[in-house]
Structure 1
Amino acid sequence: MTIKVYGSPGSTATLRLRACLAEKDLDYEYIKIDMLKEEHKHPNFLSRNPFGQVPAFEDGDLELFESRAITQYLAHTYADNGTDLVLKDPKKMAVVAVWIEVESHKFEPVGAKLSWELVLKPMFGMTTDDTVVAENEKKLEDLLDVYESRLSKSKYLGGDSFTLADLHHLPNLQYSMGTKVKRLFDARPHVTAWANDILSRPAWVKAYSSQ
């Protein structure tokens, strides 16, 4: 076994990477980093990720950080393993790339704030900021209108196949669907069908349940 993942339970970025590894049916060693003890700030970990964030990743002598960069490496390097998460047709891959960017720059900022306020803060005994929640609910509502339009034309964001564009949404989507913002998804039938589909994938269930 040459692949190692340094991550933390509950971390959306760690979950994103583990979901990809599960889809690619790859074995790996999982080293838990205790962020409450600030192990992500220790020199040993900073040598793997100088920004002090999880996950960090090793595949033999290759060391990487940033979950979306790692998933793209895995999808291309292990293309013949498990689920094909990239499309070989350049035009189709360009569409997938667009929605990878949408997730990173539009869905993630909103989803991460809602996950923090509605899921993680209560978990740590902290008080939810209702103003931040309301602001981001409105942003999510507008964003999901765009998703509803897109998903009325194709089963998945990148087209007819499940790809990294969908996979990258899974952690924040999982958290959101367990909170009051689920109603925003439920109000949009194509978004709901897509969310239910990808959240029920065996690879995701495996990754999420094995934290």
Structure 2
Amino acid sequence: MAMKVYGLPMSTNVARVLVCLEEAGAQYEVIPIDFSTAEHKSPEHTSRNPFGQVPALQDGDLILFESRAISKYVLRKNNSELLKEYNISESAKVDVWLEVESHQFDIPMAVVIYQCLILPVYFGGETDVKVVEENLEKLKKTFQVYEKRLFKFKYLAGDFLSLADLSHFPSAYYLLATPHATILDEFPLVNAWVTDMLARPTVKKVIEMMKATA
């Protein structure tokens, strides 16, 4: 039975789950949730995700929310090597860098995406340049750490691709669509890492899904 993913692929959190499903070769179905009609706040959807957010995943009787938890479930169920769970040391490093992605990358990146892409396009608002600059500085500090790490290893957790890397892809893709994509020019190893990640067939497939629902 195919797993059901509730949400739109254009969402970074939904895209994170979708790329894991693609990497795992799992069968799945995307069930769109219409934010314009507040469907995400409906009793039906909040029974899946009590915070009224996306994604939610249904696998038989099991219902999960929170994209990183869903991603781990999908990869574990399909025995993916992206978690390195057969090696306690390597799996711990994956966990560390997934935490870094969640706290040091995704938070400032979400602000930049909202200010540069969502607010002006979907709400007709004006980008707050000061807020963007403040969060770009936070991103630069994160990228400085990444640059040093990628000098030692091919990927963040080591010389192997993991969820810690792929979890970055949705926001990294949107960063390239902002006027601030040149921030990556300051960090050549990070730039190469992003380019390599976006070239993966699974990522390309999800990007097409993101474009189709934007």
TM category, shorter: over 0.9
Q: Higher helix proportion, which one? A: 2
- Is the CA contact 1:4–1:31 (under 8 Å) kept in the aligned structure 2? yes
Identity of aligned residues (%): 45
Alignment of 1:163-182 (within 5 A): 163-182=162-181
Residue identity in the other structure for 1:52 = G
Tell me by how many angstroms 1:178 deviates.
Answer: 1.8
SS at match of 2:156: coil
1:129 aligns with 2:128: yes
Alignment of 1:34-113 (within 5 A): 34-79=34-79, 84-87=81-84, 88-113=86-111
Q: Deviations over 1:94-128 (max 9, x none)?
A: 11111000001111101111111111122212211
Q: TM-score, normalised by structure 2?
A: 0.94
Tell me by how many angstroms 1:181 deviates.
Answer: 2.2
1:203 aligns with 2:202: yes
SS at match of 1:4: strand
Equivalent in the alignment of 2:16 = 16
Residue identity in the other structure for 1:10 = M
Backbone CA RMSD of aligned residues: 1.1
SS at match of 2:82: coil
Equivalent in the alignment of 1:147 = 146
Q: Distance in 1 between matches of 2:125 and 2:32?
A: 23
Q: Deviations over 1:27-54 (max 9, x none)?
A: 2111000112110001100110010000
SS at match of 2:165: helix
Where structure 2 has 5 or more consecutive residues not aligned to the other structure, the ranges are none
4-13 vs 142-151, which moves further: 4-13
Tell me by how many angstroms 1:192 deviates.
Answer: 0.8
Where structure 1 has 5 or more consecutive residues not aligned to the other structure, the ranges are none
Q: Distance in 2 between matches of 1:209 and 1:123?
A: 19
Q: Distance in 2 between matches of 1:135 and 1:196?
A: 25
Q: Distance in 2 between matches of 1:160 and 1:178?
A: 28
Tell me by how many angstroms 1:180 deviates.
Answer: 2.5
Q: Deviations over 1:74-106 (max 9, x none)?
A: 1111115xxx21112111111111100000111
- Is the CA contact 2:5–2:31 (under 8 Å) kept in the aligned structure 1? yes
Aligned length: 208
Q: TM-score, normalised by structure 1?
A: 0.95
Q: Distance in 2 between matches of 1:94 and 1:107?
A: 19
Q: Distance in 1 between matches of 2:5 and 2:187?
A: 36
Tell me by how many angstroms 1:2 deviates.
Answer: 3.2
186-195 vs 1-10, which moves further: 1-10
